[in-house]
Structure 1
Amino acid sequence: MRVEDFDYHLPEELIAKYPITPRHNAKLMVLNRKDQSIRHDMFWNLPLYLEEGDLLVFNNSKVLPARLYGKKPTGGKVEVLLTDFITREEWYALIGGKNIKEGLQIYVGEDLIVEVLEHIESGKFKVKLLSEDPLKALDKHGKIPIPPYLRRGEEPIDRVYYQTVFAQIEGSVAAPTASLHFSEELLKRLVEYGIKKAFITLHVSYGTFKPVKVDEVELHRVDPEYVMVPKETIKLIKETKEKGKRVVAVGTTVVRALETAGFEPFEGWTELYIYPGYSFKVVDAFITNFHLPRSSLLFLVCAFGGREFILRAYQEAIKERYRFYSYGDGMLIL
């Protein structure tokens, strides 16, 4: 398959630079794979398209302020972007600056030093956060690494809205964006409609923004990411399937986590790369945002919904002035 077959033109003004408030006021496009129909609605009305007993599965990973500014012992300024969770203390990182060598200690604050452990490739390194409480120190000194296509720095609104309302386990450097539409009020409404919920953890790496640099879809690779699918979630998935109800994945991260785990609890790393031709085992329906052209996220959505149908929906979204990307509107594929 050619990567160019997953291209489309997006007018710059349709890239959502800021979040909608309240969260559930985003638009919702509803795609039905059986009759190939497209409906337009608001995210607040999501429960109307689900059935009592359906199971929504969310990613409860929490975005960390992973962009750090520090100094070398010589006084030279250095920017460190934590890109991939390994442990609370150890990360892969992109480091800007000259003479970055193993053993270098970058001073960020009196309670946080970044030590370079190993050079991986070009500007990528393995680092250790030297701190009594690394996550607390990150929260104090770091900036939220909002997506590069927003073309702006972090603002106070991002600390609230580039985070899900149920974020719990620290480790992501990018938000699971399909979940950003869920307000406390909408979650309560879903309960009233008898819709169940469960959680997985997938720590989103900066690789989610990695451009596809090959011409053939099959030749691309995604970066490994930490995943945990607990036994409670697997139990709910099995019960949902047994009752003939649907497992609804909220976001591409949840799709990859559930399809990695199958029907058994799982903790480890996933490099599952889903593109058209993939046969889905667990996921019955799928909520997602509108993704960049020629991206691995768009390949995954096309694998689930069908390339022609999805690209037709994207053209309709452009015509209807939907908002695109991380802070954009949502799509439900049934």
Structure 2
Amino acid sequence: MLNPTDFDYHLPKNQIANQPLNNRDQSRLLFVDRSSQKLSDHHFFEIENYLGKNDVLVLNQTKVFPARIFGQKSTGGHFEILLAHQISQDTLEALSRPRLKSGLLLNFSSLLSAQIIDSNPDTGLITLKFNQFGTEFYQSLNQLGHTPIPPYIKNSQSEKILRQNYQTIYAKNTGSSAAPTAGLHFTKELLKKLSDRGVQIEYVTLHVGLGTFQPLRLENLKSKTLHTESYFIDPDTINRLNNAKKSGKKITAVGTTTTRCLESFAINPTATSTQLFIYPPYKFKFVDSLITNFHLPQSSLLMLVYAFCSHPNTPQKFSIFSDSLIGQAYLYAVQNDYRFFSFGDAMWII
């Protein structure tokens, strides 16, 4: 059985990007060619030179909401909550710090409160039933909440600026507790240039949940599942994507979240949520190339990227990470001062 430690690498802390570049599309882009096994340096805006009428670019238009909120227990004492998967209109799954017990009433303001109706002391996960939902609930969060940047990012920007920077320019459907970070590199101008070149641009929605913040566990490998994330693909988009795939167009997924959405759809076209865990060996059914940021060691996202670069998608058999194509790409990126993680640079696996 695979182990998370099989997907490890060393990263100097100074290569973790704590804030984005002023110009989103000026970030660096490492080309990873699965056929030739070659790596090459580029900048993100250069993708317009490599995409054309036979390409489909698929982006995740989920929108991050201010999911980190602070409050006080009815018994006293302060806490922090990270909201994630929405179970029903007034019920959400969340992470708490410190860990909280079931039955507690949590007060966030004079208007917003929630009851803990379930808790898992091992993981820190809780289920909250709020006294608000819909527009009223999100208005409260916009006033009280904070942008849920990952804990490894040390960012001193104001909340106003952070809400802009930690959001794709095409974000539309509210529901994510983390940004689909590969999409942060796109500008309106770049998308227009791609469209003018005849690139077919499509949008899906997958709401990014707690898996971004939680470490990968051996239990995930045993059950072969991950955290639940909800997704939606418009019926017209489905038809266009299916027609493009049948006609031989190349499907480029922007990010692991888009990839998870498309691959989940390919497995079960009627589903609206997924626990799909992509790790080697996995045969990709819909995605032909992948634009993605650099991921944390021992993470499910790194395992997905490894799977994309190995058998049965390429001739390369599973090997230790440092000997693999993706391991060599990460080593090259470290040695050549690429910026890592959410606000960092990207790679394009072709």
Q: Is 1:238 the counterpart of 2:242 in the alignment? A: yes
Q: Which amino acid aligns with 2:92?
A: W
Q: Which amino acid aligns with 1:241?
A: K
Between the aligned partners of 1:90 and 1:225, the Cα distance in structure 2 is 15
142, 164, 176: which one aligns with 1:172? 176
Q: Is 1:42 the counterpart of 2:46 in the alignment? A: no
Offset at 1:45?
0.9
1:270 corresponds in structure 2 to: 274
Can you list the C-alpha shifts for 1:200-235, whole angstroms capped at 9, x where unaligned?
111111222322243996666411111112222221
Q: Secondary structure at the match of 1:271?
A: strand
1:148 corresponds in structure 2 to: 151
Q: Secondary structure at the match of 2:58?
A: strand
Q: Which amino acid aligns with 1:196?
A: Q
Distance 1:305 1:86, change over 3 A: same
Between the aligned partners of 1:250 and 1:99, the Cα distance in structure 2 is 37
Aligned pairs for 1:124-203 (under 5 A) are 124-131=125-132, 133-152=136-155, 155-156=158-159, 157-203=161-207
Asked if structure 2 preserves the Cα contact closer than 8 Å seen for 1:229 and 1:265, the reply is no
| Cα RMSD (Å) | 2.2
Offset at 1:152?
4.8
Distance 1:189 1:138, change over 3 A: same
Q: Is 1:53 the counterpart of 2:91 in the alignment? A: no
More displaced, 158-167 or 49-58? 49-58
Between the aligned partners of 1:98 and 1:290, the Cα distance in structure 2 is 30
Between the aligned partners of 1:26 and 1:44, the Cα distance in structure 2 is 8
Distance 1:164 1:291, change over 3 A: same
Between the aligned partners of 2:51 and 2:309, the Cα distance in structure 1 is 17
Between the aligned partners of 2:73 and 2:24, the Cα distance in structure 1 is 41
Asked if structure 2 preserves the Cα contact closer than 8 Å seen for 1:85 and 1:203, the reply is no
Distance 1:233 1:216, change over 3 A: closer
288, 295, 320: which one aligns with 1:291? 295
Offset at 1:154?
6.7
Offset at 1:72?
2.4
TM value normalised by structure 1? 0.92
Offset at 1:59?
0.9
Aligned residue pairs total 333
Q: Is 1:323 the counterpart of 2:339 in the alignment? A: yes
Gaps (5+ residues) in structure 2?
311-320
Q: What percent identity do the matched residue pairs reach?
A: 39
Offset at 1:311?
0.8
Offset at 1:86?
2.0
Offset at 1:111?
3.1
Distance 1:126 1:3, change over 3 A: closer
Offset at 1:75?
3.9
Asked if structure 2 preserves the Cα contact closer than 8 Å seen for 1:234 and 1:265, the reply is no
Aligned pairs for 1:237-256 (under 5 A) are 237-256=241-260
Q: Which amino acid aligns with 2:188?
A: E
Offset at 1:88?
4.0
Q: Secondary structure at the match of 2:303?
A: helix
Offset at 1:176?
0.6
TM value normalised by structure 2? 0.88
Distance 1:112 1:147, change over 3 A: same
1:8 corresponds in structure 2 to: 9
328, 336, 343: which one aligns with 1:312? 328
Between the aligned partners of 1:292 and 1:90, the Cα distance in structure 2 is 30
Between the aligned partners of 2:100 and 2:68, the Cα distance in structure 1 is 20
Asked if structure 2 preserves the Cα contact closer than 8 Å seen for 1:247 and 1:282, the reply is yes
